[in-house]
Amino acid sequence: MIYYIAATVGITLPALYMRWYHVQIDARIDSIIFGMGILGAAFLLSWAAEVAQMDVSRGLALALLALIAILPEYAVDLYFAWMAAYEPEYAHYATANMTGANRLLVGGGWPFIVLLFCLTFGKKYIQLDKANRVEITYLTVATVYCFIIPIKGTLTLIDCLILVGIFAAYAWRTAVMEVHEPELVGPAKLISRLTKTKRRLVNVLLFGFSGATIFACAEPFAEALIHSGELLGIDEYFLVQWLAPIASEAPEFIIAGLWTLRGDARAAIGALISSKVNQWTLLVGTIPLVYSISLGAPGQMPLDSRQIQEILLTGAQSIFAVAILMNLKMHLWEAGCLFFLFAAQLIFPEIRLPISYLYFALAFILLIHHRRQWGPMIREGLLNRKS
């Protein structure tokens, strides 16, 4: 397994070389090389985060895994937010990357896990733990607040304060949950066999190297994507919204898939739900913070009609997903519905608003159907009281 780690590190080296020596080949080739650098760094981060489950609670470990796994997403998105203070068109790319990552996770990642589990084990649904009510509850809170953003048409420091506050409350809540000894495979298992001191040292090195790689690759990768769109005649907004999230989300999807094949679909779907919480709170909340820092003063990032529609659609998908999870089950047909609606708006972007209304209608029906789950969700998710 040491060869897997060495090969993954090797994937990042061309990007680091190009960044260090300011080498530019062609925007299309640059986007591939820097994208591979981010992909390799994301794998290293994910392995280290898996091992971290040995030292902290399962809930917190999944939250950390979800947070760490989407660091590439943060790096690219926050670069766009920083540039938006100088060039307003970059605000489009910041919201494109954020909404694309959120919808890809729910519309692609969650159905993938359910389908994989049902096909592998002959089941019709995934049964979640009661502990997953924590993620579901905080995702609900964040989703309800995020509907305010398209109404007011701006991203501000108030949004940052509230959304980061929701994330902090979620992180604290998961920190007090029961410690769980994980079943590790692959490179993560190799690292876990080291002594406690060496294991933690290796983890620190992996976190440091990966973080530095992501930081180094974020700017050239983002710029290469934009210029690649110009060269290929493809909408730059489309590339930023979907290609960048695919590169950064791939390691997390693969790890969740491996957990599912080992029969631990609950942990897999739990990690992806936690990622959604992180993206819908910390990622969205830090965009106006970085924008204001770059601006040199408290600022409001304005949203145009397309950005408002994108955020509304993302919120509508999120509330529908929450409604599905209320009974702690995700059936195959529900996963299929999530994927079908996601694919429809991806192929036909002009139907964003109708799809949003459909999400709302389906969510309303499910929330009424699962109304008896509201009380347990609040008691266990927010108040830490057993039902």
Average of per-residue pLDDT across 295-300: 92
DSSP summary character for residue 2: H
pLDDT of residue 65: 59
pLDDT digits (tens, 9 = 90+) for 174-191: 776 654 555 666 777 778
What are the tens digits of pLDDT across the range 205-224?
888 898 888 888 888 988 88
Q: Report the pLDDT value the prediction gives residue 51, as an integer from 0 to 100.
A: 79
Is position 169 within any domain?
Answer: yes
Q: Which is more confidently placed, 2 or 287?
A: 287
170, 192, 158: which is closest to 54 by C-alpha? Answer: 192
pLDDT category at 59 given cuts 50, 70, 90 is: low
Residues of the chain above pLDDT 70, percent = 91
Question: Does some domain include residue 307?
Answer: yes
In-domain check, residue 115: yes
CATH number at residue 367: 1.20.1420.30
Q: Are 126 and 325 in contact (CB under 8 A)?
A: no
Identify whether 166 is part of a domain: yes
Higher pLDDT, 194 or 169: 169
In the chain, what is the greatest distance between 2 CA atoms, to the nearest angstrom? 60
Query: Confidence class of residue 2 from pLDDT cuts 50, 70 and 90?
Result: confident
In a domain, 41, yes or no: yes
Please count the CA atoms within 13 angstroms of the CA of 121 that sit on its side-chain side.
18
The number of domains in the chain is 1
> For residues 103 and 123, what is the distance between their CA atoms, to the nearest angstrom?
25
330 lies in a domain?
A: yes
CA–CA distances in Å: residue 336 to residues 331, 333, 375: 9, 5, 28
Q: Which helix (H) or strand (E) holds 343?
A: helix 332-347
Residues of the chain with pLDDT > 90, as a percent, come to: 46
Average pLDDT over residues 83-107: 91
Domain of residue 95 covers 2-382
Residues sharing a CB contact under 8 Å with residue 8, sequence separation 6 or more, in sequence order? 40, 43, 44, 187
Residue 286 lies in a domain: yes
| Residue 387, domain member (yes or no) | no
CB hemisphere CA count around 323 (13 angstroms): 21
